Amino acid sequence: MKFKKIALILLPLGFLITSNAQNTSIIPEPFEMNVKKGTYTLPKNLVISAPAEAVDITNEMITTLSNISETKLSTTNSKGNISLTLNKDNDLGKEGYTLTINEKGISINASAPAGLFYGWQTLAQLMPSGIYKKNGASNVQLQYVQILDKPRFAWRGLMLDVSRHFFTKAEVKKYIDDMVRYKYNVLHFHLTDDQGWRIEIKSMPKLTEVGAWRPERKGKWANTKAPSLDEPKSYGGFYTHEDIKELVAYAKSKFVEIVPEIDVPGHSMAMLAAYPELSTVPTNNYTVNIGQEFIDWEGMNGHITARIENTLNPASEKVYTALDKVFGEVAALFPSNYIHMGGDECPKNNWEKSADVMDLMKRENLKNQQEVQSYFVKRVEKIINSKGKQLMGWDEILEGGLPGNAAVMSWRGMKGGIEAAKQNHKVVMSPNDYTYIDYYQGEVTAEGKVYQGLRLNRTYQFEPLPEGIDPSMILGGQANLWTEQVQTIRNAEYMTYPRALAVAESVWSPKEKKNWEKFVGKVEQHFEKLDAAEIKYSKSMYDAIVTTKLNTKGELLVSIAGEITGFTYFYSLDESLPDNYSNAYSNTFVLPEDVSILRVVGYRNGKQIGKMLSIPMESLKTRAKKVL
């Protein structure tokens, strides 16, 4: 390949310096990288040369590099100290680039502006963390390096749920700023759900007048009473058409495509609060959900039951007329080729009781409620196609038959995506057991339970392309941030990072370049960059993993392990605060019956790293499994 030829030509200019690898911690790992002997010092008069097509990139570079003290910045059309050039190279594609740092300066070459942008993101990672703060860096020296890079997948996404809790335009822009540092290029925008309708639809004004607002609750999700009818509905918000246009333009300047999601036919309580006639159970008592339970989830993978209806009526033409208006305005606002229709977690118990639905089944020869949902999905696809867009939905849209050219986002593991790909439908892999970054990421008693746990190591094992599946059917992968229990942008950051770094490497880097131990070392260096950029993140990868089981005598056995190597864990049983003079864990031990709390802390190289865990006896008993 041409890439290999480039690498061979460049090798004589220097040789690989493994001792300097710590200065080139890039996430996601590049396609090819050769570190050379020597360093380049940024001059005090720093000149950037770039083509006209790269004006947004140049402006971002100037903003960032202006934080280097005593440095004067300017641009030119001729050769600069940092040179950005466009040259057609089919092997690089639209997002690939080469980055060279040597005695002559810095050069980034690409076939398209997106490649230049990602080359700049890599260059920024090679610079000191101080570039994210005013006068935070000086006398910047960069290791000589030759990088040739391109993405493995075209779809590299993060999903932000703005329905459960509303995030402002400025907060969404910041989320975009942060994600592009790691070469994400899709923001999946979850705009509607039971807890709020977040996009203005001018032809249906009640969607935001009513559906965007609810009474405020500040505590734990699903730990709240239902609101009274006269309780003030002051919590929420929505994006106007002008807001959406601004966000789309901003994302485009960062080479991010925003894919909107309007979640139907389930997850529609906010829509029903505004227009109750769209339900199979019309009533004036619908309200925007504030977090209280209204669905029985026992049949999660089969038959879930709604206590309060949150589903549109698939037999009503009023529904399709309304959705034609909604998707018409959405399609006009978002340039994305795809519109996501949701289609997940749809309770059908009220459909089963509906005379309208029974008539529909007879008229259309539908055998069961799964085929009723398939009928609904096919009707929605026709609407979306009529707007010049393609339909995408969660893997439940497979049930009852997948329509036309619909694409599938596989969230209940990989199974749905595999099935869709075999049926020649495009797939985005976002399996909850690897990429649901709303799940708690460390010790549950320290972080609070959110459905289930998902540690960084597990996320790093994400592989978007299953064995035996045609690669052309897999668009890429995505991490999803549902925000039931994420009320602020700071908490959104904490849940996103560093797990988004792991997913970034799975969707950009060659599979064979992934290495957990190396990745951990890079993450630790990027913690410094996240600190400098004032991005909140989790350090749960440092925390002990405490598991228990019962032996044949009924005694509780405790095991302590680490997610990463190099740690010694110390613990106490007497409610004292442990340090490196306490009990050092070496082997599984029996927990005495009179212990009320186990405290554990991790040390590396004589220094405490991570937080101290305080785990009550009740939690230790709960997680135990009997040994037979």
Q: Which amino acids are annotated catalytic? A: 193, 267, 345
Kindly report the length of the chain. Answer: 628
What is d(CA 63, CA 256) in angstroms, rounded to the nearest whole number?
19
| Beta-bridge partner residues of 545 | 561
Residue 535 CA to residue 611 CA, distance in Å, equals: 19
CA distance 509 to 152: 6
Closest listed residue to residue 500, CA positions, set 172, 164, 157, 165: 157
Q: Which residues contact 308 (CB under 8 A, 6 or more apart)?
A: 269, 286, 294
C-alpha span between 162 and 487 (Å, rounded):
10
For residue 532, give both structure tokens.
Answer: 């400098």
Give the strand pairing for 72-76 and 45-49.
Answer: parallel
- DSSP state, residue 361: H
Q: Amino acid identity, residue 464?
A: P
Pairwise CA distance, residues 111 & 89, whole Å: 5
Q: Which of 385, 342, 351 is nearest to 371 (CA)?
A: 351
Q: How far apart are CA 484 and CA 220, in angstroms?
A: 9
Would the CA dihedral through 112, 114, 120, 123 be positive or negative? negative
The continuous run of DSSP H or E covering 252 comes out as helix 241-253
Question: Is 283:274 a contact under the CB 8 Å cutoff?
Answer: no
CB burial of 41-57 (b: ≥16 within 10 Å; e: otherwise) equals ebeeebbbbbeeebeeb
Cα–Cα dist 116/410, whole Å = 31
Q: Phi, psi (5° rounding) for residue 237?
A: 145, 170
Output the DSSP codes for 454-486: --HHHHHT--SS-TTS-GGGEEEEEEEE--TT-
DSSP assignment letter at 255: T
Interior/surface letters 252-290, b for 16+ CB within 10 angstroms, e for the rest: ebbbbbbbbbbbbbbbbbbbbbbbeebbbbeeeebbbbb
